[in-house]
Amino acid sequence: MGRFIAALALVFSGAVLSWAAIPVPELIIYYDYEDFQNGFVIDKSGHGHDGKIVGNIKQVPGKRGMGAQFEKGSYLDLDGANFPADDIPEDEMSVCAWVKCQNTGDHHAIFNVRGGDGTWIIHPELRNNGQFRWLLRTKGMTTIFDIRAGTVEWDTWLHYAGVYSSIQGYAALYINGEEIIKQNTEKHKLMKDWTQGVRVGYNIDNARPFTGIMDDLCVWAKALTPDEIKNLMENGPLPKAVSAQGKLATVWGDLKRF
């Protein structure tokens, strides 16, 4: 009887098994763009930072599974005023995403944050002059680094990965898994205050609209290594979850034997 009850519980929990992610340490935000629910894109990091859709963002085929097509001026709002300080990176940070941008003549913001004192903290973007940008600032608009490098290929899938470590004192930019530039920096801690706004795809001041398709956006409280970035490109950040269909087929076979 105990086995029957356990098997029955698995049947009713199958829907959860199909999408539930195994938590990964230091993964703060993860949008795989596979789940759109009631006007939100679901955060798979386990932290619950679902992104509110503002404007027109729709599911389309992405780089890995489904992606999100951003119409110009559309974005995800992460409710910066209530973003918990415990989830904000301080010592190290990485921002990664697959992107396929249109050449609209604009800068394209992947992820943007503004601190309570007005500091523009985070700028990972594709610029209208065909370069990538990776910038972090700390309190009082103090620039930690401002990397502008590489060459954008428009309407082409590219993997962007910006990395920073205040512990080791460096910043680096990787495109398609290859290091474009790495530079030494002052060992500034990051601001743990995102209260003036957190967005995906559009700056807080309604500038630099990301226009195109985005997939697998990840924000980490760690400095990813080159090997970790290459693995991320191929497999995403989460360990492979149990397949609900395979599990349910096995359970149903067990049930039929009772």
DSSP, residue by residue, 194-208: -TTEEEESS-TTS-S
Per-chain mean pLDDT for the chain: 88
Residue ranges and CATH numbers for the domains of the chain are 1-20+241-258 (no CATH), 22-238 (2.60.120.200)
Q: Which own/partner pairs from 21-28 qualify as long-range (CB within 8 Å, at least 24 positions apart)?
A: 21/45, 21/46, 21/238, 21/241, 22/238, 22/239, 22/241, 24/237, 24/238, 24/239, 26/220, 26/221, 26/222, 27/218, 27/219, 27/220, 27/237, 28/87, 28/88, 28/89, 28/219, 28/220, 28/221
The pLDDT tens digits of the residues spanning 23-47 come to: 678 999 999 999 999 999 999 999 9
User: pLDDT, tens digit, for every residue of 221-248?
Assistant: 999 999 999 999 999 998 764 333 433 3
- Could you give the CA distance from residue 258 to residue 246 in angstroms, rounded to a whole number? 20
How confident is the model over 68-73, as a mean pLDDT?
98
Q: Is the pLDDT of residue 15 over 90?
A: no
A 10 A CB-CB count for 2 gives: 6
